[in-house]
Amino acid sequence: MRILRFGAMTLLLSLCSSADLASADDGAVALLPFQGAQAAKVRQNVQKGLAAADVELVPLKRVTAVVKNTKGYTKQAAKLDASTLVRTRVRRVEGRWVGDTDVRNANGQRVEKFRNTSSSLTRLSNRIVAGLMKSGRMPLAGAAGAAAAAPRAEPEAPPAPTQPRLVVRPFTGAQAAKIRGATVRGLRSEPVEMFPNKQFAAKAKSMGVNLKSDGGHVAPASALAVSGLIDGDVLYEDRVWSAYVRLIDGDSAKVISQHYYDASTSAALAKSVQANIGPDFRKDIGKLGVAVPGAAVAVPGAAVAVPGAAVAAPVAAATPTRSESTSSEKKEKDEPKPKAKKKRPKKDRPAAVDIELDFRVVHRTFGYNDVLPDDPRGDLRDYKLTAGPGVGIKFQYYPGAHFTAGVGAQFGIDFEWERLFKIDSTRVVDAATGEEQSFPTESQQFLIGLRWRYPKGRWEPSVVLGYGVHRFSFGLSGPPVPNQDNTAGVPSVKYEFVRLGGGFRVEIGKHKLFVLAASIAFRGTFSVGPIGTSLWFPEAKANGMDALLMMGFRLGKGFEIRLSGDYRRYGFDLNPVPGEAPYVAGGALDQYWGGALGVAWRR
């Protein structure tokens, strides 16, 4: 009796559980609140699209809770009497709308996940609806549900091709659908037959084949007389869009050829692929020839048996068949083939041009040391410029980088120019009355030289050798007046020097968005200008140095924002000769602190 009672209870529980499962499977679809920009609009559009397809839906007003875990999904499904829960995250990426959709069952388990992209919200909504309907988990009402449940007829085999038949498989990476579409459009003008990927995938599914496995495409390709497949990867690195597109033999997993494309934007990349895909692959596609429909390759573990091959239709004599092309290839195997020159991708070459425009502010101090106290010949005045605004240009050009990434790309021209806006310097004439005189003041620097660099990953060290001129001069306060000094009382300088230095540039961060650069250089000065004349210190000698530290942020398309600080100094040995020099001082120090904010273009 106990055994009978236990069996009855077990049977009763199993019937109850099956009834519960049936009721869950027969429930409606609930669209949980979508996330992201314009999510509410997309959700409403998807609800309307599913309703038009006769899908049983839970009204949007009833679905308000935001779910974050599996337990929450289960509670929502029970509360709403829903068998399927749908949630989508909407984003805007590179000018396109992206929707990531999750489909979960009544137990909160994810049963489907897919992504759709489009340039408009309406098309994105329609694609989400299509993806949901394709998943087969949307319960249909009435006659529509009965029609959906009916077994589908096996699609008829396509006629034998007269041209090489190709299938363009889905690409991987960001903007993959856009680049795949450009590939399809580019191949349409070629002498090939484009076979729909959906039909190819359906054939593989009916044969129990996993297309993601190595050589998984061979069986459906043989059954459908597909000569080759096209697939590719789309990458976005260092602000450059690139695509690797491959041609794969339909009879094996062998990659026949691969081509590389790059551009600054995804739209430009699509144009490049569409324009060049046909000519690039034309010769290799011709070698594949036309495949003859044959018996499908046996697939271990396949659930469905594949019928024998159909008789091939006559093929035009002008187009070689797969067997003919194979035999001709065997004859050509022994013949030596010239190796194609490998051209280095453009993105792997170092930058050829670096041009920077700056707004600058300069602070200057000039002072003497070892001055004789109470010198009857007159006082030597120090000088200070608090802040002088100006502009600057920096330009580096490596002509060889347009053609190679080798040694020829590492030698370039280095040029710098800067100038302060015209300012006035003042000197107190009468301390009692506070009377001052103004003197027009100008400053300018010019550098030109040769630069050598050694790019290594994120780092780019360099050395520079060049010539430069740095001038800081004072004008007269006005026309000459008897018994009145109309000069600034501070000597003008014009440094001419040979400059030898080194520095580095390094890109920082996961996406290399930040840039740090530094440099230091010696200035071997061979002329000091007016301060070295008989009016001041005829035996004056000087040497100098400069240093720079720069932080930058990359904006894309080669543009950067740069913030920098620099320091320059010149140390003097004035070498006064007693009784001959107009003034007496042991030495002097001329220092410049500068700051700059600029925009640069590096490509």
Nearest to 543 by CA among 521, 523, 563: 523
Nearest to 86 by CA among 121, 119, 60: 60
Predicted local confidence at residue 133, as pLDDT? 87
String of DSSP letters for 549-570:
EEEEEEEETTEEEEEEEEEEEE
Domain contains 397: yes
Predicted local confidence at residue 56, as pLDDT? 87
Domain contains 335: no
Q: What percent of the chain has pLDDT over 70?
A: 81
Domain endpoint, select from 111, 142, 173: 142
Q: Under a CB-based contact definition with an 8 Å cutoff, are residues 492 and 470 in contact?
A: no
Domain contains 118: yes
Q: Is the Cα torsion angle 101, 105, 107, 109 positive or negative in sign?
A: negative
* φ, ψ for residue 133, nearest 5 deg: -65, -35
pLDDT over 70 at 347, yes or no: no
Nearest to 49 by CA among 131, 109, 150, 104: 131
Q: What pLDDT digit, counting tens, does each position of 133-170 carry?
A: 888 888 876 555 555 555 555 556 778 888 899 999 99
> Residue 107: which pLDDT band, with cuts at 50, 70 and 90?
confident
Highest mean predicted confidence (pLDDT) among 149-163, 188-202, 341-355:
188-202
Name the 3-class secondary structure at 158: coil
Same domain? 457 vs 584: yes
Q: Which of 346-360, 523-537, 547-561, 584-598 has the lowest mean pLDDT?
A: 346-360
> Residue 398: which pLDDT band, with cuts at 50, 70 and 90?
very high
Same domain? 435 vs 537: yes
Q: Return the ∠ at Cα 226 (arms to 221 and 230), rounded to 5°.
A: 95
Same domain? 127 vs 175: no
Same domain? 574 vs 430: yes
Domain contains 312: no
Instruction: Tell me how far apart the alpha carbons of residues 413 and 401 are, in angstroms, rounded to a whole number.
Output: 12
Name the 3-class secondary structure at 322: helix
Instruction: Tell me how far apart the alpha carbons of residues 381 and 585 are, in angstroms, rounded to a whole number.
Output: 11
Same domain? 177 vs 135: no
String of DSSP letters for 275-321:
HHHHHHHHHHHHHH-BPPP-PPPP-TT-SS--PPPPPPPP--TTS-B
Same domain? 586 vs 444: yes
Tell me the CATH number at 255: 3.40.50.10070
Same domain? 116 vs 237: no
pLDDT, the chain, mean: 82
Range of the domain at 38: 22-142
Domain contains 148: no
Predicted local confidence at residue 322, as pLDDT? 52
Close Cβ partners of 176 (under 8 Å, ≥ 6 residues apart):
170, 232, 234
pLDDT over 50 at 305, yes or no: no
Find the mean pLDDT for residues 320-328. Answer: 50
String of DSSP letters for 407-469:
GGGSEEEEEEEEEEPPEEEEEEEETTTTEEEEEEEEEEEEEEEEEEE--BTTB--EEEEEEEE
Q: Is the pTM of this model over 0.95?
A: no
Tell me the CATH number at 538: 2.40.128.90
Same domain? 272 vs 369: no
Predicted local confidence at residue 304, as pLDDT? 40
Instruction: Tell me how far apart the alpha carbons of residues 218 and 248 are, in angstroms, rounded to a whole number.
Output: 10
Q: Are strands 35-36 and 165-168 parallel, antiparallel or unpaired?
A: unpaired
Instruction: Tell me how far apart the alpha carbons of residues 450 and 411 are, in angstroms, rounded to a whole number.
Output: 7
* φ, ψ for residue 108, nearest 5 deg: 85, 5
pLDDT over 80 at 12, yes or no: no
Q: Return the ∠ at Cα 242 (arms to 239 and 248), rounded to 5°.
A: 160
Close Cβ partners of 19 (under 8 Å, ≥ 6 residues apart):
none
Number of domains in the chain: 3
Same domain? 207 vs 279: yes
Q: Which DSSP letter does residue 172 get? A: B
Same domain? 396 vs 541: yes
Same domain? 234 vs 369: no
> Residue 394: which pLDDT band, with cuts at 50, 70 and 90?
very high
Instruction: Tell me how far apart the alpha carbons of residues 277 and 41 are, in angstroms, rounded to a whole number.
Output: 38
Domain contains 345: no
Q: What pLDDT digit, counting tens, does each position of 432-480 carry?
A: 777 788 899 999 999 999 999 999 888 999 999 999 999 999 988 777 7
Same domain? 115 vs 47: yes
Q: How many Cβ atoms from other residues are within 10 Å of residue 333's Cβ? A: 7
Instruction: Tell me how far apart the alpha carbons of residues 221 and 211 are, in angstroms, rounded to a whole number.
Output: 11
Q: What pLDDT digit, counting tens, does each position of 69-95 carry?
A: 777 888 888 888 888 889 999 998 878
Predicted local confidence at residue 297, as pLDDT? 46
Domain contains 157: no
String of DSSP letters for 225-246:
T--EEEEEEEEEETTEEEEEEE
pLDDT over 90 at 500, yes or no: yes
Highest mean predicted confidence (pLDDT) among 97-111, 202-216, 356-370:
356-370
Predicted local confidence at residue 24, as pLDDT? 39
> Residue 15: which pLDDT band, with cuts at 50, 70 and 90?
very low
Domain contains 188: yes
Q: Are strands 240-249 and 255-263 parallel, antiparallel or unpaired?
A: antiparallel
Name the 3-class secondary structure at 370: strand
Alpha helices in 102-163 (DSSP H): 121-134, 142-149
